[in-house]
Structure 1
Amino acid sequence: MSSIADNIGSVTRRIQKATLQAGREPGSVHLLAVSKTRPPEDLREAFASGQRAFGENYLQEALEKIEALADLDGIQWHFIGPIQSNKTRQIASAFAWVHSVDRLKIARRLDEQRDPALAPLNICLQVNINEEASKSGCRIAELPELVAAIGELPNLTLRGLMAIPDPDQPEGDLRASFRKLANTLKQLKTDHPDAGPLDTLSMGMSGDLEMAIAEGATWVRVGTALFGKRPAKS
């Protein structure tokens, strides 16, 4: 059985190869280790192997890990799950990045509840790129108004877009979904030059990261390829 260190090495090489093949700058794509349901010991092992950024979906579980791993200098926490209004205060305090903002109400609460003494909270707007009823995210048509409003919030830095395309669609359609998100970000940068860096595309997972990188991903969110399959829920 491969160790977490071996898996990190393997995924890192995949990222590097895909980045090179896409003609992109080395180091322009970052690995976000999706660590939901994983025990702190697994994250500690990953950290010892050089991984620094970890993505969590469930707030209470994440807060327990953040406390358990508080001794790891340089660890970076990303919230990537759906956000309920009553959870924003703790998310605003505990995380460096939030990839899953999908409405202005949530953005305003995060801004109001972020301690001004901390660096601004990096956020991505989650887009329901395939308009699936079962998925969170805003529609592309809603983005211009959202981007303009969020650009006025002082305790947030709008970094870009996130999406979770339907993984069961044909490969050509999946690639088109990634490209659509990338083109949407380019248009937003043109139309809203002062809204924030807009330099981030959070897209691609264990099975399709090469395709996502070819289309412009800057963060790929990988769990299974690093930690193995998650145990079945009891």
Structure 2
Amino acid sequence: MSEKELYNAVVLLEKLYFSNTFQKVLEQHNIVQVERTRLTDYTYKSTFRKGELTLTAYYFANHEVMFVQASALYSLFVIALDSVIEGITGMEIYLEKIKNDHSLIQMENRIVNEKGKCEKFPYMQLYGQELWHSPAFLLANREGLLQLREAIDVALQNGEYRHVTSSSDGDGYDLLIKRIEEDVEWSRVETPYTALSGKEENTIKPSELFSQYRTILEEE
């Protein structure tokens, strides 16, 4: 099985993608677009560089959505574009490292499927254990559970995934799901008990177990 890379989608208006403003904003952060290739009538591939760091992005002009590679340059790139992008969509996709036309189909299907999801808003709330043997709770409406099931399937296949959902007050949040491999020493993983006054020493924090989302977690 070939290695996969994570891409996160942002909303970028077509007029901005082709404008000098887009280039100037990046240049202010010493990020240069070194390549832009037209792949189809409405799809473009761009490569960006800052020093030794590089990043690839695929732009769908008809949907005004750009999939950005979650490379080491990702956080700096998104910060640089904060004033011009409409926002981060929560649409994410894993692509084979060897790019081909099928990758474009996968990305466009991801956009179309996201737009065609159920009309009702997904809600999900997690309540962790207070102490040992205390119950944990997951409350969700049908839409929230359906999307969580899909997110778990992606995490099973690719190792990890960031699921975007909402609590009852309407505030969105990220649920990061990690498939733990056999080489992780479970006894060293930090416990989840909310009532503990202090954290254990010399434990592995949940954020340390993620690889694809490491740059995103470090930024946040």
TM range (shorter): 0.3 to 0.5
Larger Rg: 2
Larger RCO (alpha carbons 8 Å, 6+ apart):
1
TM superposition score normalised by structure 1: 0.31
Bigger helix share: 1
TM superposition score normalised by structure 2: 0.33
